[in-house]
Structure formats: structure tokens, C-alpha cells
């Protein structure tokens, strides 16, 4: 595998061709914050927290490090005033949904995000998609999916599949950064599983 | 019909069509585009058919159902050939007179002609009408000459000659060089150079390659692509086949929204006819080139106009953009090189091939060549589709073609570029229309929406309207777009409702930066534009709403109150009777007053008060005058 030399936060790193910036940074012990990343899953690029500045030649641009791949002599900065400002606002937007998520609280402290900047929202799902993608890509069960679009988008268990498969799996439960998933599961169980003949409990 | 197996046979067949037609034979062409159909064109068409039948003129007169000529404001539009007499707003009851006078007696029906509102002069021909006269109609001109459903009509106007030309005398590389020389830039929004996009796909070693028509037009008030695909589907199809040949693709797709039923029908019909004639399928015109096209009906998501979302939808997945940093002309549909161009871009291709890049570059500015179709809507006298040469000024579009602002109102701004475009104020109307010029002014070309606004338009409300649209149309995948727009929408709504706070503008600016810099796709990256451009030119309106709780345009319902001027009220009882909540007190000869406690700000009194009284006023940001004492409310005798 071809080696690619990149510089991240001043550190010279020999990455493998095809590595994402996040993977290269991880090897050098540089932590980039993220909420929708999972090593077993195809990069989603949804939370945008892992945004970094990538400079090549005379041009620099903001890219998300979970998707952008290493390039020879790329200079990457993972913390700048602008990046920190963007991360702070992204966190503030998510804190409107899940102000008590330990993961969000820790990041909020790091970036000085104010949990009360925006009015609280009724749903505490942050749409990282970890449950949906894990179930589809790793378990290949599609027991939980996204429904609707935009600000109306939410996760939903498919009772026909979930009633049969979920009780013995629940591997997505610890992935959820806000515990919203568990709530939806319990609700689906209460509303729809009892009538299902194949219920596995 | 036996498939045409060579270009010679195509030309011979074309000659047969043309020579079989008598150019002097009267032809009644009626616009059967969506706009005219909505204003009753199908009844007009039926009336013509039965009238011609009744008069036993079937053999002598042709009735043609054509595509949209653009003058939707005055539809249904009827043009009588060969004289090219243009009748507007034709009703079924006008048909008998048209047939008797114009078809039989060769006279003009004066009352159906266009009358210039300024000079009062009548225009007999389409080309005499200022709306048309100031346009350069290279693409849309055939819409009215052909029956949208007839491939023979398209062939009669020279259709598929560009395809024949590339298949016989041009290599794919040469086609690309011609398109590059023409300077054609994508008509769908971003204005990317078309030839360069094609070249990237052609040069990539991956196979197969795909060409795609983006007919997922979704901007509020825009219908350029709709009119082209409905009115002249073969022109788009011919461009697509040429594009396929140029990049080395044998498979094309038309992604068209299901909400455009006529466009779906007409493009499917065009494909079937082209297959029958041997212009699609195996070994086209005996050249050895194979090409097939499938139509994919979109489920109506604005975000599916974005390339990666459109391709995801084509692949059968949810129409959400993909995070990637490789252009879709290299890794597109099923990760293969895919050229996606807008309807209008494809329709330009046959013209460039036939007339040459030199012809195309005669029109335009340095970096924007050719013509562009806009849908001109809003507070404008002549609503419709206009095709203009790049480089014309906004002023000429609005005043010369559009006929200015109706009801003597003042122009305030023109919004271009669709929901994520921007508003351009009166001070910049001398700006030339071109990709870079519009972007420089904080707006963009977009796909060609052009919404004119007058003095009664509140710019904060305009920003709120477009942000609402984009919030609804965001796919919800990434945080800055989904959550950022949700918050921007809330804040803007609050401002228009008088609940704005100090710091709101700065908060909106912060959210805009995050949305622009961090969003996944072009929808999010451009979504804050309606806010940014209105703030840039109309900051005072934002400040008036927030600080003084005043809407300068007297539009925002929560910030205005209605008041009856006692000096002007004639106690006519009209407003009192029409008020839906009985908030107006008065009687004959007793000046009316509005009970502010009961009033719901619906504006009915304002609308019904006779203009020559003009007694009902809108007030914003200032205290209401104290009510007139009861004793002074009685009107004695006549008031002047």
C-alpha cells in the first residue's frame, strides 16, 4: 500500500493511501471530535463535528475528516478559531435536543458551548444514524430506520422485524449518544409488539 | 415506420415531411402548455376542432397543440399561421369569430390583440409585442411552432440534424471541443462549464458511463424546464444523445418530477417515437452508436435536484446527498462517470452543434455566453417565460420585457436564483445578467427563477418565506442544515411577529456561517442566502422589526394595526358590514371606528374601503391616534 505524507496540526504523518484524515490523525494520537463516526460503518458525514481545515498548494478549504482522504503534502489543522466556532454552534444546536447527554456535555465544555443558547426541542434524537446504519450495515437486519425528512425526520423501529430480532440483539443500544433509541424501542414494544405472533421475548 | 438506417435516409425523410406540407395552409396553433391549459386552453382547442368540423374546413386548416410560448399571463395564447397573428386570452366563445374572420375572411379580430398599456397601440404579430420583441428566443422559439407530441414536426424544423452531424463527421472529442469553445455553462444553478464536465467523464477510464437530464425543477415559481420538456422534448433528447456520444456513454436517464405529468407523458412519447425512427436504440442511423434512455419519475423532493441526491434516488435509495469529495462526472451514478446536466443545458447542445461555437459566443458577456430562460413572476405586469441574451440588464428584463410594476407601485427588489438565491435592490438594476455578475451581487443565476417585488413586500418576510421552504426541503442528514435552518426559521418568524430581540441578527449571522461552511451539500451551503442578501441590502428593515416593532412595508400582520381616519370616513357602512369579527362600530352618518380589542388584522376593511375614500389606514410602529369623541362622530350634511 502506497504511503502518503500529510501534516496534521504540525505533526508529519505517514498515512496509507485511501485513509481518511480522521484515521491518519488517530494514528498520530490526535483526537478529532465526532458523533456519527463508527469504525465498522461507512462514513456518514452527518454530524459535521469532525470538520477540519485542509490546505494544499495555495488554497485551503473546510472538509469533514471522516470522509476526506489523505493527499500528498496536505496540511491539516484540526483546531482554528473558525473550526472551534463552527463546532461550538453545532454542539449548541444539538444541546437543544439532548442537553444531558454525557458525550455532548463533555464536548460542550471543551468548546464552550452554551446548552441554553437555543430553545429546547421536544425530541432528543440527534440523528447521528448510528443505530440505523449499524442495524443495516453490520447486522443487515434493517429493524430500525429513518422516516420522514428534514426537521421532521425521526428514527422508527419496524415492528415486523424488531419484534423478532431486537430483544436478543440490542447491540445498537450502547451506540446511542442520547438514549433516545431505547425510548423509541420501549415505545414500539408497548404499542406494536404484543400483537405480533413472532414476538421473541 | 421503418427505422431510418442512415443520415441520408433521415434527410430524405425530412424532405418528404417538409414538401408534403403547404406553408401557406392556415394553421391555428394553440398553446397546450400547463399555464394555458390551466386558463382553459383545452376548451379552446375543442371549440376550434368543432368549429372547423362545422365549417367543413378539416382539409384546409391545421389545428396544432403546441408547447408554451412563454406569455402565460395572457393565456390561452393562439397564433394563426402563416400570417402569425397572435390572439391572447382566447375563450371558447371567441373561436367562431376567429374562424369566420381570420381563417375565412383573412381579417384580424382586433379585440383579441395585445394592446400596449402605455401607448395603447395594438400588436398584430407575436414579434410586435414588447414582451417578445426584446427577447432572443433561440431555444424556446420552436415551442410554438411544433406539436409537442409530433416527432415529424421536430424533424420539419431541422430536428436531429445535429445528431446526424456528430454521428457522421465528428468524433466524440470534437464534439466536446466544440461545446468547450462555445463557453456553455450549466443552466441548472452552479454554472459549471459544460464541456469541461463532459471531458472529465470522457477521459476517465471507468465504464460504463452515464448521461442524465436533471428535470427535477423545484424552485417556487420556476417553470423553465417544465415548459421545455413539455413543449419540445425532442430538443432535450437530441442534446442528451449527442452528450452520450461525446463522452462514450450508451445509457441515459431523464430524472423528471412526478408533479410534471405532461412533461413525463411528452418525454416518454418522444423517446418512443425516437426509438421507432431509429434515432435511439442500437446502431443509430447506421453509425454503430447505441444509445438508450430511461425516464425516472422523481417523488418531488427539492434536494433531489442536487447531483448526489438525484443519483442516489436513481439508484433506488432515499434521495439524500452523499458526503464525497470526488465530482460526480468521475464518480457518479453507481460510482461511474456520470454527466448530469439541466434540461436547458441539454437543449442548447443541438443548437451549438448545428450553428457552431462561434455563433453561440456572439451573444453574452465575457464569461456567460448564449441565452438564458427565466421565469419572470411576482409583482410584474407580464408574467411568463422569457429568454434573454446574457448581458442584458435586469432593468431591461423587468421594464422592457416584463412591462414594469403593476398598479403604479415602486420596484423594491428582484429575487433570482431560486430559494437559495438572493435579492437584488433597485440600485443595481443596471447590472448585466451573467453568472458571475449575479453571484457578485450576492445572488446567483440558479436555474432561472426571477421574482419581482414591489414596495409592499417585506424583505424580512421574504427571507422567512424562503428559509421556511428550505427548512421543509432539507433532507435532514447533516446538523448545520437541519438544525441550523430550524433555528433560523424560528428566529426569523419571531422577528416578523414582533418578538425579535437584540442579538438576533448576530445569531442569524453565526448560524449562517455554520450552515454555509459545514453543510454536506449545496442545499445547505447556499440555504442562508435569502437571509444574507436581504440583510446586506435591507438591514434597516430588520432593525425596524426588532427595535421599533415596525414593519416598514406594512406587511407583517403582527406588527400592523388598522385605523379609520375620521377625516376621510364617509360612514358608508361597507367595512362595518364586511368585517368578519364585528370589530367596527358605526352607523349611517356616524364615523366608523375599529375596536382594537376585537380586530384580528385580517385587512378586509382596508381592502373594501372605496379607493376614493381611502379612509382605512395601516399603521406600524407608532401609537394609534386617540379615538375621536363620540359627539364628533356624527356627520352633518355633505363632507368634501
The one-character DSSP state at B593 is E
How far apart are alpha carbons B526 and B540 in whole angstroms? 23
Task: Count how many Cα atoms sit within 13 Å of the Cα of residue A74 in the half-sphere of its side chain.
Answer: 28
Minimal CA separation from A93 to chain B, in Å: 6
Q: How many CA atoms lie within 13 A of A45 on its CB side?
A: 19
Question: Which residues in A lie closer than 8 A to residue B471 (C-beta atoms)?
Answer: 150-151
Residue ranges per domain, chain A?
3-79, 81-122, 130-195
**Sequential DSSP letters for B300-324:** --GGGGSHHHHHHHHTTS-S-----
Range of weakest confidence among A38-42, A154-158, A191-195, B494-498: A191-195
Smallest Cα distance from A39 to chain B, Å: 16
φ/ψ bin of B259: left (φ > 0), alpha (ψ from -120 to 50), beta (otherwise): alpha
| pLDDT value at residue B637 | 59
Cα B15 from chain centre: 36
Interface of B with A in 206-265 (CB under 8 A): none
Cross-strand partners of B292: B251
> Hey, are the CB atoms on A45 and B323 less than 8 Å from each other?
yes
> In a 10 Å sphere around its CB, with 0-12 CB exposed, 13-18 middle and 19+ buried, how is residue A55 labelled?
middle
Would the CB atoms of B518 and A48 count as touching at under 8 Å? yes
CA dist B137 and B231 (Å) reads: 14
Report the alpha-carbon distance of residue B261 to residue B245 in Å, rounded. Answer: 29
Decide if pLDDT at A201 tops 60: no
- B308 interfacial to chain A (CB closer than 8 Å): no
Partners of A48 on chain B (C-beta within 8 Å) are 478-480, 518-520
Alpha-carbon distance B138 to nearest alpha carbon in chain A (angstroms): 39
Q: B587-593, long-range: CB within 8 Å, 24+ apart, which pairs?
A: B589/B634, B589/B635, B589/B636, B590/B633, B590/B634, B590/B635, B591/B564, B591/B566, B591/B628, B591/B632, B591/B633, B591/B634, B591/B635, B592/B564, B593/B564, B593/B566, B593/B627, B593/B628, B593/B633
Say yes or no for a CB contact (<8 Å) between A151 and B323: no
Size of the A and B interface in Cβ pairs below 8 Å: 100
Place of cell 425579535: B500
**Cell for A201?**
421475548
Mean pLDDT of all residues in A128-146: 95
Q: What is the predicted pLDDT for the residue at B220?
A: 84
Set out the domains of chain B in order of their start, with CATH numbers.
25-129 (3.40.30.10), 151-361 (3.40.50.11540), 371-454 (3.10.20.600), 459-547 (1.20.1440.230), 560-633 (3.30.70.20)
Residue of chain A whose Cα is closest to the Cα of B508: A89
Determine the Cα–Cα distance for residues A188 and A190; give it in Å rounded to an integer.
5
pLDDT value at position A198? Answer: 60
Residues B35 and B263: their CA atoms lie apart, in Å, by 13
C-alpha cell at B226: 417544465
Q: How far is CA B18 from the centre of its chain?
A: 33
Interface test with A, best of B308, B313, B515, B518 (most A CBs within 10 A): B518
Contact between A93 and B519 using a beta-carbon 8 Å cutoff: no
> Which of A82, A125, A150, A178 is the best mutation test for B, with the most CBs of B within 10 A?
A150
The pLDDT score that the predictor gives to residue A189 is 85
Of A64, A68, A151, the CB nearest to B482: A151
Inform me whether the C-beta atom of residue B474 falls under 8 Å from chain A C-beta atoms. Answer: yes
Contacts of A86 in chain B (CB under 8 A): 480, 513-514, 517-518
Q: Mean pLDDT, to the nearest integer, of A159-185?
A: 90
CA atoms of B351 and B141, how far apart (whole Å)? 12
Calculate what percentage of chain A has a pLDDT beyond 90. 80
Q: Is this structure's pTM higher than 0.90?
A: yes
CB contact under 8 A, B325 and A67: yes
CA distance A38 to chain B (A): 15
pLDDT of residue B640: 45
pLDDT for B630 equals 86
B509–chain A Cβ distance below 8 A for any pair = no
B483, B513, B517 ranked by CB distance to A93: nearest? B483
- Pick from B475, B511, B518: which is nearest to A62 by CB? B518
A3-79: CATH topology is: Ubiquitin-like (UB roll) (3.10.20)
Q: What is the pLDDT of residue B58?
A: 86
- List chain B residues with pLDDT less than 70: 637-640
Asked if A46 lies within 8 A of B318 by C-beta distance, the reply is: no
For B480, the closest of A48, A96, A127 (CB atoms) is A48
> Distance from B411 to chain A by nearest Cα, in Å?
35
Are the beta carbons of B479 and A44 separated by less than 8 Å?
no
State the Cα–Cα distance between residues A12 and A75, nearest whole angstrom.
9
Cis omega before residue B82 (within 30°)?
A: yes
- DSSP state string for B180-242: HHHT-B-TTSS--BHHHHHHHHHHS--SS-EEEEEE---STT--HHHHHHHH-HHHHHHHHHH
Output the nine-digit C-alpha cell for A101.
447527554
Smallest CA–CA separation between A51 and chain B, in Å? Answer: 7
Amino acid at each position: 500500500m502506497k504511503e502518503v505524507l500529510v501534516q496534521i496540526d504540525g505533526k508529519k504523518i505517514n498515512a496509507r493511501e485511501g485513509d481518511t484524515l480522521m484515521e491518519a490523525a488517530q494514528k498520530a494520537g490526535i483526537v478529532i471530535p465526532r458523533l456519527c463516526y463508527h469504525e465498522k460503518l461507512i462514513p456518514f458525514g452527518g454530524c459535521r463535528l469532525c470538520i477540519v481545515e485542509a490546505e494544499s498548494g495555495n488554497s485551503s478549504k473546510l472538509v469533514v475528516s471522516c470522509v476526506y482522504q489523505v493527499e500528498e503534502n496536505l496540511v491539516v489543522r484540526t483546531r482554528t478559531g473558525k473550526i472551534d466556532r463552527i463546532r461550538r454552534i453545532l454542539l449548541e444546536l444539538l444541546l437543544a435536543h439532548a442537553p444531558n447527554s454525557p458525550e455532548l456535555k463533555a464536548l460542550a465544555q471543551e468548546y464552550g458551548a452554551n446548552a441554553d443558547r437555543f430553545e429546547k426541542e421536544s425530541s432528543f434524537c440527534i440523528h447521528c444514524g448510528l443505530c440505523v446504519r449499524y442495524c443495516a450495515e453490520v447486522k443487515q437486519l434493517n429493524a430500525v430506520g429513518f422516516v420522514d425528512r428534514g426537521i421532521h425526520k425521526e428514527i422508527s423501529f419496524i415492528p415486523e422485524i424488531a419484534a423478532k430480532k431486537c430483544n436478543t440483539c440490542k447491540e445498537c443500544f450502547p451506540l446511542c449518544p442520547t438514549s433516545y433509541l431505547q425510548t423509541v424501542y420501549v415505545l414500539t414494544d408497548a404499542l406494536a409488539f404484543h400483537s405480533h405472533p413472532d414476538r421473541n421475548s | 415506420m421503418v427505422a431510418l438506417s442512415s443520415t441520408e435516409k433521415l434527410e430524405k425523410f425530412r424532405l418528404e415531411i417538409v414538401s408534403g406540407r403547404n406553408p401557406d395552409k392556415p394553421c391555428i396553433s394553440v398553446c397546450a402548455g400547463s399555464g394555458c391549459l390551466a386558463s382553459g386552453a383545452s376548451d379552446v382547442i375543442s371549440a376550434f376542432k368543432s368549429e372547423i368540423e362545422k365549417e367543413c374546413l378539416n382539409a384546409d386548416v391545421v389545428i396544432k397543440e403546441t408547447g408554451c410560448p412563454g406569455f402565460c399571463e395572457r393565456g390561452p395564447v393562439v397564433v394563426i399561421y402563416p400570417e402569425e397573428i397572435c390572439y391572447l386570452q382566447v375563450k371558447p366563445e371567441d373561436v367562431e369569430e376567429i374562424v369566420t374572420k381570420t381563417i375565412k375572411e383573412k381579417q384580424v379580430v382586433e379585440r383579441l390583440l395585445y394592446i400596449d398599456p402605455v401607448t395603447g397601440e395594438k400588436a398584430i404579430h407575436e414579434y410586435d409585442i414588447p414582451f417578445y420583441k426584446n427577447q432572443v428566443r433561440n431555444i424556446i422559439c420552436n415551442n410554438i411552432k411544433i406539436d409537442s407530441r409530433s416527432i415529424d414536426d421536430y424533424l420539419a424544423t431541422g430536428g436531429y440534424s445535429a445528431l446526424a452531424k456528430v454521428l457522421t463527421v465528428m468524433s466524440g472529442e470534437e464534439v466536446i471541443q466544440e461545446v468547450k469553445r462555445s463557453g456553455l455553462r450549466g443552466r441548472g444553478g452552479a454554472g459549471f462549464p459544460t464541456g469541461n464536465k463532459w471531458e472529465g467523464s470522457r477521459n476517465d477510464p471507468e465504464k460504463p458511463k452515464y448521461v442524465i437530464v436533471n428535470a427535477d425543477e423545484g424552485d417556487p415559481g420556476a417553470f423553465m424546464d417544465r415548459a421545455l420538456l413539455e413543449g419540445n422534448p425532442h430538443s432535450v433528447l437530441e442534446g442528451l444523445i449527442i452528450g452520450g456520444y461525446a463522452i462514450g456513454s450508451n445509457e441515459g436517464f431523464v430524472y423528471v418530477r412526478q408533479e410534471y405529468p405532461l412533461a413525463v407523458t411528452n418525454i416518454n412519447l418522444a423517446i418512443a417515437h425516437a426509438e421507432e425512427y431509429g434515432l435511439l436504440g442500437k446502431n443509430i442511423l447506421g453509425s454503430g452508436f447505441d444509445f438508450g434512455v430511461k425516464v425516472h419519475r422523481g417523488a418531488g423532493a427539492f434536494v433531489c435536484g442536487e447531483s448526489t441526491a438525484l443519483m442516489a434516488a436513481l439508484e433506488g435509495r432515499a434521495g439524500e446527498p452523499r458526503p464525497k469529495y470526488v465530482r460526480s462526472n468521475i464518480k457518479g451514478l453507481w460510482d461511474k462517470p456520470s454527466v448530469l446536466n439541466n434540461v436547458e443545458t441539454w437543449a442548447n447542445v443541438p443548437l451549438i452543434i448545428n450553428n457552431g461555437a462561434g455563433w453561440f459566443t456572439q451573444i453574452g458577456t465575457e464569461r456567460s455566453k448564449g441565452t438564458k430562460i427565466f421565469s419572470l413572476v411576482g409583482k410584474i405586469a407580464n408574467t411568463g417565460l422569457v429568454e434573454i441574451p446574457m448581458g442584458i440588464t435586469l432593468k431591461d428584463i423587468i421594464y422592457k420585457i416584463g412591462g414594469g410594476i403593476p398598479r403604479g407601485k415602486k420596484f423594491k427588489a428582484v429575487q433570482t436564483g431560486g430559494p437559495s438565491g438572493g435579492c437584488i435592490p433597485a440600485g443595481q438594476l443596471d447590472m448585466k445578467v451573467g453568472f458571475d455578475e449575479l453571484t457578485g451581487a450576492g445572488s446567483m443565476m440558479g436555474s432561472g427563477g426571477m421574482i419581482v417585488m414591489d414596495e409592499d413586500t417585506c424583505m424580512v418576510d421574504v427571507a422567512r418565506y424562503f428559509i421556511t421552504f428550505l427548512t421543509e426541503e432539507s433532507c435532514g442528514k447533516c446538523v448545520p442544515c437541519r438544525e441550523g435552518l430550524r433555528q433560523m426559521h424560528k428566529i426569523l418568524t419571531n422577528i416578523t411577529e414582533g418578538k425579535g430581540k437584540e442579538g438576533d441578527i448576530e445569531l442569524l449571522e453565526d448560524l449562517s456561517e455554520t450552515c454555509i461552511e459545514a453543510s454536506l451539500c449545496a442545499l445547505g451551503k447556499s440555504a442562508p442566502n435569502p437571509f444574507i442578501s436581504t440583510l446586506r441590502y435591507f438591514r434597516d428593515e430588520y432593525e425596524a422589526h426588532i427595535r421599533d416593532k415596525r414593519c416598514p412595508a406594512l406587511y407583517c400582520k403582527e406588527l400592523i394595526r388598522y385605523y379609520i381616519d375620521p377625516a376621510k370616513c364617509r360612514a358608508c357602512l361597507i367595512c362595518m358590514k364586511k368585517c368578519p369579527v364585528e370589530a367596527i362600530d358605526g352607523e349611517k352618518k356616524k364615523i366608523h371606528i375599529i375596536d382594537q380589542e376585537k380586530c384580528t388584522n385580517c385587512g378586509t376593511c382596508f381592502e373594501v374601503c372605496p379607493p376614493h375614500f381611502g379612509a382605512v389606514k395601516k399603521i406600524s410602529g407608532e401609537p394609534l391616534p386617540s379615538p375621536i369623541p363620540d359627539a364628533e362622530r356624527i356627520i352633518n350634511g355633505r363632507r368634501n
